Homo-oligomer: A and B are copies of this chain.
């Protein structure tokens, strides 16, 4: 069966490109001498995480306890959960995985550390906690190396917890700033606590620049496995490296300059990432996906090249591949357009 024969819209995964993307990234991190911990948020599929592990990854990263449970059930035994846990119910679930020796997590505030310590009270196996640092991204994280030390001290002094190191989700192209923060925090912590075992940074766009942050010991990245239009626009990859595409049908041609696809925001998502348009049509790179409804993709046709007809199938490289994974129950694995199988997106919708 060929991908052209699949009902649309459908999310296609080119396994040849996936394997090439995994190998390329692992080689970069191997050459830098950093551990590589792929983030499963991009694919949410255990089969693909196993390919990442076979290539040399040291473990995986995830964002939610429900994601960690999906991968733990599939045998993954080194999972970093990069999100502050607060509720007793979530921490009780984390404790199960921590006591199996497979989960570590992060904290950027004293309330999270107190909640984790309370939830781990009396456990024979402590939960490893990394302190999250805001090294410039402006999302979560302590604001200074001194604050990182204070939280590291709090973790180290909490029964049921063990200090695991530092974690940051860095601003791209700010490696000097990231390195200054992390190395200063590490030095303060080592001076007082004796060690700072792990320093974890991440992000696909900065992967090649990770060498500029010598203090980091391991690196997390997710999107690199599929890539997407936003990474092409940033120069982080080529359009031919994009392993995830959305197969769509031209369902209407109301005017000479307008085509409508059967893929809208329920398939492509509304993520713009600062770009113009909602994706790139491989067969019509000059066309623009100018507006999305939930089920309609409005395409403005430019130029003199052959225009799509009603019934034509096209492939769209989305702006952001991770959110496309989260919108589809299953994806289609193929090689050179030959369908291998449908695969469930096992951790789709895991928001809790």
Give residues in A with beta carbon < 8 Å to B: 7-10, 41, 63-64, 83-84, 86-87, 89-90, 108-109, 111-112, 115, 134, 138-143, 249, 251-255, 258, 260, 262-263, 265-267, 269-272, 291, 293-296, 298, 309-311, 322-323, 326-329, 349, 351-352
Nearest to A9 among chain B residues (CB) is B351
Q: Is the CB of B270 within 8 A of A270?
A: yes
Contacting residues, chain B, for A326 (C-beta < 8 A): 266, 294, 327
Q: Is the CB of A251 within 8 A of B310?
A: no
Assuming A266-B326, A323-B265, A349-B328, is B139 touching A260 (CB within 8 A)? yes
Contacting residues, chain B, for A138 (C-beta < 8 A): 258, 298
Closest 6 CB pairs of A and B: A270-B270, A111-B310, A84-B251, A140-B252, A63-B295, A270-B271
Distance in angstroms between the alpha carbons of A143 and B260 in the assembled complex: 14
Assuming A84-B252, A142-B254, is B349 touching A327 (CB within 8 A)? yes
Nearest to A269 among chain B residues (CB) is B270
Copies in the complex: 2
A-B contact pairs, 16 of them (CB 8 A): A8-B87, A8-B352, A10-B352, A63-B294, A63-B295, A86-B311, A109-B252, A112-B251, A115-B311, A134-B254, A138-B298, A139-B254, A139-B298, A266-B323, A269-B270, A327-B351
Q: Is the CB of A271 within 8 A of B265?
A: yes
A-side interface mostly: loop
Distance in angstroms between the alpha carbons of A256 and B352 in the assembled complex: 26
Please indicate which of the listed interface residues A141, A266, A328 has the most CB atoms of chain B within 10 Å of its own CB. A266
Distance in angstroms between the alpha carbons of A106 and B96 in the assembled complex: 53
Distance in angstroms between the alpha carbons of A258 and B142 in the assembled complex: 12
Distance in angstroms between the alpha carbons of A351 and B141 in the assembled complex: 37
Contacting residues, chain B, for A139 (C-beta < 8 A): 254, 260, 291, 293, 296, 298
Q: Is the CB of B265 within 8 A of A310?
A: no
A31: min CB distance to chain B, Å = 29
Nearest to A263 among chain B residues (CB) is B351
Contacting residues, chain B, for A260 (C-beta < 8 A): 139-140
Contacting residues, chain B, for A327 (C-beta < 8 A): 326-327, 349, 351
